Structure 1
């Protein structure tokens, strides 16, 4: 099973990815984790990324794509994977298509977890109250900015994958168990 999870910040992608990892026995690939692992392993791309991160700059698509490609070649990804946080843009999606073609594999589905922005903000504010604001992103202004970035950069992927017949949409406002059931039903089709 080769999946991409799409959805705005706070929609539950990470929660659902962990559940799907258990259900299907495939790894969750988060670009942040992959980047940190490549830096720690001191791979050539990891060292290049480290120099960029150390300067405080954003890592280019070329490097991110290369690191994702290397990770997809790992043995644990042979039976499948769940991409979470990649691709974020149409350019990255096109690069992923090329990568997968070169590897002779195809995506099974792209799952969009739809969520209402105002409800996500309400959830974050509630979580901050309950946890004492322990997380840096438990802040309305930060979340609204991240939601804006998602809308501008990542939301266009919905139409991109819909045009390829890969998009499955589930209601992320349901309880976790119902969202999981909806995802599993959607990818079983």
Structure 2
């Protein structure tokens, strides 16, 4: 880590979930969409990500998710600790729009495309209107720390312009490896 090169990252929390709700014209509850559902937010996020990346509800956790969980919690099994049907029921009760996911006309590719358009809009605006270089990383943009606040505002503005609502943003400082 090089402390001479601090960077800031503005990341959308629940981006695909937010976009899905906006496309349906149904507001997503305020705050972290993965919190307050009765299970650790990482488990809820894992279920939502696995579900929105597929065209129906799963009957089991993916092997990759199970493997990562077992690596993080040796001797434990994701499916036993968190039966997928139990998580599905809790998430669908808290986020009713997801109940209709298997019949939705919207799929992960459209969600990913819309999210990438927001990132391109934000990076382009930062470059040409503010002369600020920015790097995309999944659902995030990375800028020099001194540009962090303007980058977060631009990201939010571009999200709202393209999707019609504000994202839930998380920000953090990261160190640039040089």
Bigger relative contact order, structure 1 or 2 (CA pairs below 8 A, ≥6 apart): 2
Larger Rg: 2
Higher helix share: 1
* TM-score computed with the length of structure 1 as normaliser: 0.30
* TM-score computed with the length of structure 2 as normaliser: 0.31
Higher strand share: 2
